[in-house]
A and B are shown apart, each in its own frame.
Chain A
Amino acid sequence: AQKITQTQPGMFVQEKEAVTLDCTYDTSDQSYGLFWYKQPSSGEMIFLIYQGSYDEQNATEGRYSLNFQKARKSANLVISASQLGDSAMYFCAMREVHSGNTPLVFGKGTRLSVIA
């Protein structure tokens, strides 16, 4: 079963508007971490934000915030005041801890295009 699902292959947003990128996950672990990465057209993977399964507050990092709904198993990324430089692929990823195996499992990504 797919662990991370990103249902939006592509999204458009007007500059200065907010946008929400969806991510749902599947795990039976109680302890896990959720991450968002940005991949611009140049190819590098840039870490944006982290949310732990036990964190009671939603994570925020500058213009990025994570709307974490544990019961729904969703971890949506909210980008406020979009900028042209936010145009990129965005990947949601999860890390579980069991049997000492802790790589990241990625979703297929959402391509965000910011329009002037």
Chain B
Amino acid sequence: DSGVTQTPKHLITATGQRVTLRCSPRSGDLSVYWYQQSLDQGLQFLIQYYNGEERAKGNILERFSAQQFPDLHSELNLSSLELGDSALYFCASSVESSGVEETQYFGPGTRLLVL
């Protein structure tokens, strides 16, 4: 158990809908990262927050948004869902946001299926 929690574990929804994925980082971790894992694109970085502020953006679609709250939990909002958004969405956390040695610990993921 990494200490990172994600809810829900599974999500099935229809095209055009909006969903919210939730992540609670490990105790003491200030940085939260969101990754998407799909069969064709592999593991891709979406967005990073550090202590409530957006720190880095990756290949995140405009239909997707995220935020980190004062209690450091984070939510990833996916809207106008398309079939291609079906994927495993991971949240990871680390203590700081800089430093190559910072290990990111991953949550169990949310498996999203868009029908």
Contact = CB atoms under 8 A, between A and B. Distances in A.
A106 B20 CA distance: 25
Given A97-B98, A109-B42, A103 B106 contact: no
B58 interface: yes
B103 A102 contact: no
B100 A43 contact: no
A108 B40 CA distance: 10
A103 B48 contact: yes
User: Chain A contact residues (Cβ within 8 angstroms of B): what range?
Assistant: 20 to 34
A106 B42 contact: yes
A109 B107 CA distance: 19
A31 B108 CA distance: 29
**Residue with the greatest number of chain A CB neighbours at <10 A, chosen from B55, B56, B100, B104:** B100
A64 interface: no
A104 interface: yes
Interface string B33-49: 10100000011010010
A103 B108 contact: no
A97 B55 contact: no
Contacts of B102: 33, 95, 102
Nearest to B57: A101
Contacts of B35: 104
Most chain B CB inside 10 Å of its own CB: which residue of A43, A95, A103, A106: A103
B100 A47 contact: no
Interface of B: 2, 33, 35, 42-43, 45, 48, 55-56, 58, 88, 90, 92, 97-109, 111
Given A95-B100, A102-B99, 12 more contacts: A31-B100, A33-B101, A44-B107, A47-B105, A50-B103, A97-B98, A97-B100, A101-B55, A102-B97, A102-B100, A102-B102, A104-B104
**Across the A-B interface, the 5 shortest Cβ-Cβ residue pairs:** A33-B100, A45-B106, A103-B45, A106-B43, A101-B56
